[in-house]
Each structure stands twice: as structure tokens, then as C-alpha cells.
Structure 1
């Protein structure tokens, strides 16, 4: 179900992209279909990541079912509010032109966002419990870092709700922090998965996961400070440049992980499979 709900986000994004191609993104008085496109695709990717992580949580079937339906209900409402409202020309969060009903939909949107936060926290808790079974420890280590990053992303989202907008100061855009925090759900477990598949020595593998994940977290911290100062994250000043350097550290860790995988037995099998199929 989570996979299907995640793929629905990509399907909606594809439909919106097609519409934009023929009619443009602006819908008067305040709708912006580019925002709907990016939101639906982003939350679809988020839910697919959650679907991949959930089986490793160690939760009982009943608890997983509860969390799963929290995600499904919150995500479906979010898709509907974001997509329908923008097509109606209404900002689904901070409308200045909507009716009382639109204000109610906006408030419900905020509540659904909080519901998704609660579901994510409930899913994250078992990954940090002491004494949990050491099942796939490298992948779980990356997931732990990813959940910490996700909490920072949620903090950015809550800040946007409180501020009734995405900007702090003149140019500090919270959506950059928000998005970078959520992409940790793909970037950081990836390190653990690659090194696990490569059968890398445990100590060496953990070193690379820590290095790449800490670099990602430092990037988020630097972007958060830059945003709080009311400055854009896309300027060649000290904090954004340092953030870029930290992302390169994560990229180096990912490159090393890929190299180790390609040198392993699994990597050789993958290489031979691609070669046999003409790649």
C-alpha cells in the first residue's frame, strides 16, 4: 500500500508536468502548479523511502499497520489539498484569496503534516532502542542518521507553518533546508546498503557511513544557519561554500562505497549481468 501511495505521487507529478507543458504553471489568483508538481513528487519519494525502511523497524505487524495507515491517510489528504487547490488557483497553505472553506482546508493540511511527523517519529523510535537485534547493522546505522536529518526537515516545515511562508528575512528559503533534510532518507541509507552489499569490513564500513552521514548533517546545520540569517543558500559566501564542501565529503563516501561494491563478488555479478544484457 505504501509503495502504491508513493507511486501515486509520481503519477500526479507527471500529469501536472504535462498540463504545465501545454498551459503554463500559473493559475490565477495564486495557484502555482510547479509547487504542486514538486510537492507530489517529493512526498511520493518520501513514502517510497518509508516503505523500504519500515520492514527493518522490528515493530509488530499491528504497530506497523497503525503507522502505515497514519502515513496513507496523511499522504492522500496532502496530495488532494496540494493538487486540487493549486488547480483552483488557491495557495493550499497560506491563501490570501480563498474562502472560509479554503482556510479550513489549509488548517487541516497543517494537521495532516503534524500527523505525518508523528508517524515518522513512531517509526524512528525502534531504530534507536538499545538492545535491538543486530539485523543489517550497516543499513540501520545509515537509517538512524537519516531520521535525525528528517527531524531537522520537519522543524523547517513547522517553521514555515508558524511563519505562514517559506522565507526568513530577505532571502532565507526554508524549503532548501526542508528538502535537503528529507533527501537524507535516500542518501544516507544508501551508504549502508552499498557497503553491506560489498561485504566491507565492519569497522571500515562504519567509518565511511559516519563520515558521509556526519558531513550531510553538517551541511544541513550550515544551511540552517544561513537561512536563519535571512540569506540564500545559493551564494558564494562562507557558509554555503562550506556546505558544498561537506556534500562533496558525502559524495566521496558514496563513491568509495560504489567502488567497493564493484570490486566485490556482488559487484562482479552485477557487472557481468549488465554486460550480458548489452549495457
Structure 2
């Protein structure tokens, strides 16, 4: 028993470098927030520090999420190192060009005011974005193809659903690259679909991590993960359809309303999961207290 516990895979295990790179995003975002407070966000002719703030924070959250789940992918050490350093290099380049170019008053992706060097930097930025897309697809395929027996199946179930959502987010990202803009149609905003899709790495994995720590029946645990994750995926699909029609996801029409209902279903499973987790922690605490007496 003691040997099996030692071999149990943990979140973030062996991924200190990725964790540090993820934290860099939060440090940059905090620094930019302070700058915006004193100096404002807009830097002429094209720069907007709010974009740099949101980008660095988003990449930071994304890299921390990857660091959490990468130990469960079962890669060889060589492949894992390739993936790790590909994420690190792409992320650091993204941090640098997004922050520096906006500070210089230039659009880091599609600048119309910069030099040839700035244009090349923007193209490399696009290549790095595609590298992140390919890495995410590689991880998605890896997790979906894993066969039992595998360790921590409930957590793995949440990870699988999350990476399917990430694929949708990446499709929205590629769509923006092709359009060279985040807007489509009259009011469709692809960044909403892009962002919500990536947040599945938190919204679907954290509940799965919590529910595996409870003492309820395994069928109930699986049911909560499935119901919450499927509701999230249906919401993503409805947002994608609404955006594809070139309309805002905040309109009071059929697709956003149905998406909101599925969001409530997901939220309900999260509330139930958290309550079961807290109940289990209280029971464990009471048991320890009784044993100490």
C-alpha cells in the first residue's frame, strides 16, 4: 500500500519550469495593471495595454493548467521534455511581443504602423500561436487514446472533456488568424468563444479533482462529471453557432438563452460537487478529532 501511494501521480508533478512560466504571466499582468492605473491603457498609434494585460493573464492560467495535467499524459521523459519546452518558448515569446509591442504603441499581431521587423515579429507570433494549437491537439489525442487501467480515472475524465473544449477554442483562434480580426459578421466576437473554450481547463478539471476526494458512490461521481462537462460542451457549441451567425452571444435570442441554461446546469453540478467535498472534509475532521480524544 505504501509503495502504491508513493507512485500516485500528482498535479504539477515534475513541472516546476512550466509553473514558473505560468506565474510570469500573472506578474506581467499585475505590473501592467499598475501601469494602466497611473498612465491609462491606450498608447498611440495602435497600442492598448488592456490587451497585454488580458493576454498575459490568459497565457499564465493556460500554462499553469497544462503544468497541472501534463504528468497524467503518460509521455516518455523525452517527449514530455519536448512538449514542456515548446510550451515554455512559445509562451515567453508571446509574453514578450504582446507586452513590448503594446508598450511601443503597436499592434503585436497585425500592425499597420510598424516596420518590416515588426511585421516579421507578428508573423512569428502567429507561428507560435499555431505551435500552441498543435501542442494542445497533441495532448487532446493523447488523453483521448489512453486505455484503462489508468490512474485517477475521474480526474482523467474531466481532463478529456476539457481538452475537447480546448480544441473548439483553438478552432476559434485559427478563425481569428484567418480573419486577422476577432470580429465576424455584425456583432460576432470570436474572442468570447476562444476564451470560454480554454477555461474548461479549470471549470471541468477542478470539479473532477474535488469530486474524486469524496466518499459518495463512484456512479454518482462519474454522473456529476459527465453531466457538468456535457452541459459545458453544449454551451460552447451554442456560443459557436451564435458567433458563426455573426451575432453577439449577449443577445436575448434562442442560442444564448439555451447556452445560459446549460451554464446553469454546469454550475449546479459544481455547487453539488463543492458541497459534497466540504461535507467529506468536515467528516474527516470530526473523525480526526474523535481519534485524538
Q: Match for 1:258 among 253, 261, 274?
A: 274
Deviation at 1:268, TM superposition (A): 3.8
CA contact (8 A) 1:262 1:271 kept: no
1:207 aligns with 223
Q: Match for 2:30 among 14, 24, 34?
A: 14
Deviation at 1:271, TM superposition (A): 9.2
Q: What TM-score do you get using the length of structure 2 for normalisation?
A: 0.89
Q: Match for 2:172 among 133, 150, 156?
A: 156
Secondary structure of 1:181's match?
Answer: helix
Matches of 2:286 and 2:195 in 1, distance apart? 33
Matches of 1:237 and 1:213 in 2, distance apart? 23
| Range moving further from structure 2, 129-138 or 203-212 | 129-138
Q: Over aligned residues, Cα RMSD in angstroms?
A: 1.6
Secondary structure of 1:97's match?
Answer: coil
1:146 aligns with 162
Q: Match for 1:4 among 16, 20, 32?
A: 20
2:40 aligns with 24
Secondary structure of 1:250's match?
Answer: helix
- Runs of 4+ aligned residues of structure 1 deviating over 4 Å after TM superposition are 269-273
Q: Is 1:75 equivalent to 2:95 in the alignment?
A: no
Alignment of 1:1-279 (within 5 A): 1-264=17-280, 266-269=281-284
Matches of 2:189 and 2:226 in 1, distance apart? 28
Matches of 2:42 and 2:254 in 1, distance apart? 35
Work out the number of aligned pairs and report it: 272
Long gaps (5+) in structure 2: 1-16, 289-293
Secondary structure of 1:197's match?
Answer: coil
Change (3 A) 1:211 1:110: same
Deviation at 1:37, TM superposition (A): 0.1
Matches of 1:27 and 1:270 in 2, distance apart? 54
Long gaps (5+) in structure 1: 274-279
Matches of 1:86 and 1:14 in 2, distance apart? 15
Cα offsets for 1:63-83 (capped at 9, x unmatched): 111100000000000001111
